Amino acid sequence: MQELKHFINGAYVAGTSGRFSEVRNPATGEVIAKVPLATPAEMADAVEKAAVAQKEWAKVNPQRRARVFMKFGQLINENMDALAECLSREHGKTLPDAKGDVQRGLEVVEVCMGAPALLKGEFVGDAGPGIDLYSIRQPLGVVAGITPFNFPAMIPLWKMAPAIASGNAMILKPSERTPMTSLMLAELIQQAGLPDGVLQVVHGDKEAVDAILDNETIQAVGFVGSTPIAQYIYGRAATNGKRAQCFGGAKNHMIIMPDADLDKAADALVGAGFGAAGERCMAVSVAVPVGKETADRLIEKLVPKIEKLKVAPYTAGEDTDYGPVITAQAKERIEGLITSGVDQGATLLTDGRGMKIQGYENGYFVGPTLFDNVTPEMDIYKEEVFGPVLSTVRMDSYEDALNLILDNQYGNGTAIYTADGDTARDFAARVDVGMVGINFPIPVPLSYFSFGGWKKSAFGDLDQYGPDAFKFYTKTKKVTARWFSGIKDGVALNFKAMD
């Protein structure tokens, strides 16, 4: 069993707390590593070293910083197979899905190669007699990223790349369940030329998180996880005067209109509902067919597709559709919610409880589960399942389906399948959700846009990656400059002096 270390000042450093968390292969239940849990003193030491490194890194001009990301992107591509293998082993994703995880993070790295264009300020010449006005973007200093287990490469890259490209130093605290991929990425960005200390990977649990939130040197915190923890981090960070962008839970609906192509809609629901074992904040977990005939036909198409899904460890081959969920506790929780759905009157069409795979009996596998006749009062609807469970909520009209989404506490992603442009435009305009798909099930924006939900899915004013990330990780300084080129000036006691 491997004993992991923190990554501080460009080198691996053993933890000193004496506390560890187990990293398990979800397909086997086997402990593959133990990860140290940092003390507040260890976190403070990492932050102090990052602050020293950041002062010099901020002096590097944006174009030269961008060159580090050019090399970093190249190294990620060269090490794609190794990164995917590591990710699959600690998370359980299939290898194609793991490569997709890395790829979506790499796309943000590629945007950071153009960071100089995103760090430009504004300029107005001759705003007044001999007066120029301009703004400049400057880094915040030391910032932190607290990232979840479900995307061990993508979300750390979403956090670290824009922050570092903007001239900051980053304290990255990856999930203690999937820390190994982050360590590989830290090694690669060091090979790309990042100075020691600009990226520190510090492992930990709530004690480490609180140390981040209470550290006066850390100026901003980015988080992805559950809504209760997002609210906690956002509130504590704000109390301590930090910027925060905290992304929480989701309950993503997909409306299927009577005029939709039901074959395409069914394929989309299977992919978006069961890919990555449903452990995505953008997973579609609620199908909302409009009208009885639409619902009946959709169910007829869904059941055989779902029954054909292959659930297996990532080592079983590229034809595996999805693997295990992350922990034994997650499996138990998901199966408990399935049972509650049955007890509360939903129609269980495919049952994923009690799944065992020969040779992997200790793995955390949950089979694909489909419910029909789910109602908004049921726990299976109200809670974020975060597993391979698709609930069907039948609605009589488009307005009823839209109101179902409007009434939900979450607002991360949503989709509609329809052949009618007016309906699609109305849906996009009226739905109160941050990311909307039209005949597209998982509407994650490309990396040169920004990612973020609404309502209880997100806390903070700015989204992840893209232009918003560079705004989040920089502060704007406004400069008013006057050069006295023959201008006669006297004492001015009013705001008209620039006229």
pLDDT digits (tens, 9 = 90+) for 335-374: 999 999 999 999 999 999 999 999 999 999 999 999 999 9
Write down the pLDDT at residue 373.
Answer: 98
Query: Beta partners for 436?
Result: 414
The number of beta carbons lying within 10 Å of the beta carbon of residue 303 is 15
Sorted by sequence, the CB contacts under 8 Å of residue 297 that are 6+ apart come out as: 262
Calculate mean pLDDT across residues 262-273.
98
- Residue 498 pLDDT greater than 60, yes or no: no
- Residue 495 pLDDT greater than 70, yes or no: no
Angle between helices 180-191 and 154-165 (to 10 degrees): 30
CA distance 250 to 248: 7
Strands 252-256 and 413-417: what pairing? parallel
Strands 11-13 and 6-8: what pairing? antiparallel
> Which amino acid, residue 476?
T
Domains of the chain by range and CATH? 2-248+457-479 (3.40.605.10), 252-438 (3.40.309.10)
Q: What is the DSSP string of 426-481?
A: HHHHH---SEEEES-SS-PPPTTS-B--EETTEESSS-BSHHHHHHHTEEEEEEEE
Give me the percent of the chain exceeding a pLDDT of 90: 95
Write down the pLDDT at residue 484.
Answer: 78
Query: Beta partners for 21?
Result: 35
Calculate mean pLDDT across residues 492-498.
58
Q: How confident is the model at residue 318 (pLDDT cuts 50, 70, 90)?
A: confident
Lowest average pLDDT, out of 85-99, 138-152, 262-276, 473-487, goes to 473-487
Write down the pLDDT at residue 489.
Answer: 59
Contact between 293 and 326 under an 8 Å Cβ cutoff? The reply is no
pLDDT digits (tens, 9 = 90+) for 55-72: 999 999 999 999 999 999
Calculate mean pLDDT across residues 140-154.
98
Query: Which residue of the set 86, 112, 246, 281 is catalytic?
Result: 281
Measure the CA angle with vertex 215, ends 8 and 213; round to 5°: 100
Sorted by sequence, the CB contacts under 8 Å of residue 466 that are 6+ apart come out as: 111, 445, 447, 448, 449, 450, 451
112 is catalytic: no
Write down the pLDDT at residue 75.
Answer: 98
Calculate mean pLDDT across residues 448-459.
95
Q: How confident is the model at residue 488 (pLDDT cuts 50, 70, 90)?
A: low
